[in-house]
Structure 1
Amino acid sequence: MKKTFYSNGKLLITGEYLVLDGAKAFALPTQLGQNLIIEDGENQKIQWKSYDSDGSVWFEDTILFTDITNYIPTETETVKNTLTTILYQAYLQNPEFINLNQGYNIQTELTFSRKWGLGTSSTLINNIAQWLSIDAFELLNTSFGGSGYDIACAQNDSPILYQLENGKPIVEKITFDPEYTNEIYFVYLNRKQSSKTAIANYNVNKNQNLDSSIAKNNLITQEVIHASTVESFRHAIERHEAKMSHLLETCTVKELLFPDFKGTIKSLGAWGGDFVMVISPKNPADYFFEKGFSIMFTFDQLILE
């Protein structure tokens, strides 16, 4: 019997890094995501095959049930080890998927390139949680780590405000449909940033007194989601970018890569890779193409509404 599960990808618009310490984050689920297809197998093993958005197989392996039940942590970060860690933590929440079955043939299918940083791991974790009827946020915490905003995006089909209160996720569905979305674009920077590495660096280097930074972030986040004009939206985004640049002690992406661009550019999620958000009155495709960045989406092409 075949079962199919689907989860949305994500973009974090405000609150990057600070969301880990309780700041409010504004995030947008994407139209692109990932499918998980489960079929019965045999021989006490999982035959796993993962497809990229172009139909190519980017990972294929066999995981024995005993690899999961007798799991031994390792610091070697291979795809198989990471996947086995996730399945082991899922097993702790719901051992019946191993104890009561003979095996599985499992496929994952991305509808975005796995290089884009739109949530390859979060969509997988949420799909596994759906399959096994377990808590996706707990599965994330025990396996991969992170704030969980990406899990909230995987589960919701509208913009969200996300916050951790005493370590517990608070998700608020909101409306974000201003008239100026035709001036918002998303450009891929041709490299994927490791969320785990970025978070580890933030935790090492962050200022221990974050209350002021979180308060300012929360005010700006409210300005962003309630901005009635593109000018006020752009101004709030630029303030957010400047304050995060100061907090992270690093240059903004515009300063580093696009100092001559006549418009607003904001890093999204882990600074240094994946997508940036661009605010421009005219389509900026030619500018970015000349700089070597050919993958660009309009707001309506990428964001789930």
Structure 2
Amino acid sequence: MIKEFYSHGKLLITGEYAVLDGAKSLALPTRYGQKLKVTTIEAPMIHWRSLDVDGAVWFETTFQLEALKKPSEQFRDCGEVEQTLVKLLRAARKLNPEFLQNEQGFEVETELEFPRNWGLGSSSTLINNLAQWAQVDAFQLLWNGFSGSGYDIACAQNNGPLIYQVLQKQPVIEKIAFHPPFYKNLFFVYLDKKQNSREGIARYRSVIDQKDQLLSAVNEITRALLKTQSLADFEALLNHHEELISKTIQLPMVKSELFKNYSGSVKSLGAWGGDFVLVTGNEESPTYFKEKGYTTIIPYQQMIL
């Protein structure tokens, strides 16, 4: 028997960091995602293989299902990827005790549609795919084993833009229509500088002061973005958001550090200083960034569902 699952990648346009405290945030599922294929085999074992966007194997392991019932020390000498995988499988079993309890085993293959270093959700798409396979709640699987707001799980599960919020430790998802008429003026530029989101969250937690004011301001920007019909108004909102988060986490804005002379807006996405930024511009904008050494520039309509 073969089962196949799929999850979309993610980008957070508003509410980075503040989404952790209940801010209404604009989240966009991407056209790029991750597949998971599960094939039943007779032997009570798991043979796991992960493929990158080029089809090359970047991770592979085999272990007996019985090992999942034994103490974690058995995997102590394994690499970080395998330890994380085992942690996820065990967390899924706790949510669904019938998962991986039969005498059959599985060949599992994952396949990314984007480079792992892009930061579009190689982990969140895996978690959501595993949750579908195990028939458990993906948000609980995330929060039981890791941390984060869960907006990436919401993106993994949806086919279009959404407003995401966490209220009383529960995800609140509002599907929306977000089709800016100036979409041809929007690009995503990859900075090729991977950031640790856990470190960014820790910094935010250590410096956050007037939380209520921050949440109110982010909510207002998010609502205004949904109604904006002009590029100039859109840019003003992006700039205001950048200034707000910069002041909150006490870090300089990406534009002021890397693109001071750029005429359009540059908006950080997710953990500041790495992965993608959203920029506004025109048909000549890609040339500007390429000349500065940033060669991965993806138009809005190519990235977003």
The equivalences for 1:95-244 within 5 A come to: 95-207=97-209, 209-244=210-245
Displacement, 1:143? 1.5
Q: CA deviation at 1:71?
A: 4.5
Inter-partner Cα distance in structure 2 for 1:179 and 1:162: 22
Flag structure 2 segments of 5+ consecutive residues without an equivalent: none
For residue 200 of structure 2, what is the amino acid of its counterpart? A
State the alpha-carbon separation in 2 of the partners of residues 194 and 101 from structure 1.
39
The one-letter amino acid paired with 2:171 is: P
Structure 1 length as normaliser, TM-score?
0.95
- Which residue identity does 1:124 align to in structure 2? L
Shift of 1:63: 3.3
In structure 2, distance between residues paired with 1:81 and 1:190 = 26
Secondary structure in structure 1 of the residue aligned to 2:235? helix
Alignment correspondent of 1:24? 24
C-alpha distance in 2, partners of 1:203/1:287? 35
Instruction: Indicate whether 1:66 and 2:69 are aligned.
Output: no
- Corresponding residue number in structure 2 for 1:52: 52
Cα distance in 1, alignment partners of residues 166 and 78 from structure 2: 30
Taking the aligned partners of 1:166 and 1:77, their CA distance within structure 2 comes to 35
Q: 1:183 to 1:71 in 2, by over 3 A?
A: farther
Q: Secondary structure at the match of 2:195?
A: coil
Displacement, 1:42?
Answer: 4.2
Q: Deviations for 1:157-187, whole angstroms, at most 9, x for unmatched residues?
A: 0100000001100000000112100000001
Which one-letter code corresponds to 2:148 in the other structure? G
Q: 80-89 or 281-290: which moved more?
A: 281-290
| CA contact 1:159–1:175 (8 Å) conserved in 2 | yes
Cα deviations across residues 60-113 of structure 1 (Å, max 9, x unaligned)? 112332332224387997111111111110010112222124211100000011
- Residues 210-252 of structure 1: CA distance to partner in whole angstroms, max 9, x if unpaired? 0111101100111112111111111001000000000010001
- Residue 190 of structure 1 aligns with an amino acid whose one-letter code is D
Q: CA RMSD in A?
A: 1.6
Task: Name the SS of the counterpart of 2:289 in structure 1.
Answer: helix
Which residue of structure 2 aligns with residue 286 of structure 1? Answer: 287
Contact 1:67 1:84 (8 Å CA) reproduced: no
Moved over 4 A (4+): 73-77
Instruction: Please state whether the residue corresponding to 1:50 is helix, strand or coil.
Output: strand
Of 219-228 and 116-125, more deviation after overlay is shown by: 219-228
Q: What are structure 1's unaligned runs of at least 5 residues?
A: none
Aligned partners of 2:60 and 2:77: how far apart in 1? 21
Report how many aligned residue pairs link the two structures: 303
| 1:43 positional shift | 3.5
Instruction: Report the Cα distance in structure 1 between the residues aligned to 2:164 and 2:156, rounded to whole angstroms.
Output: 13
Contact kept, 8 Å, 1:5 with 1:130, in 2: the verdict is yes
Letter paired with 1:18:
A
- Structure 2 Cα separation of the partners of residues 252 and 181 of structure 1: 23
Aligned-pair CA distance for 1:260: 1.3
Is the Cα contact below 8 Å between 2:188 and 2:300 reproduced in 1? yes
Identity %: 46
2-side partners of 1:76 and 1:254: how far apart?
41
Write the distance in 1 (CA, Å) between the matches of 2:43 and 2:157.
33
CA gap of 1:87–1:282, structure 2 versus 1, over 3 A, is same
Partner of 1:78: 80
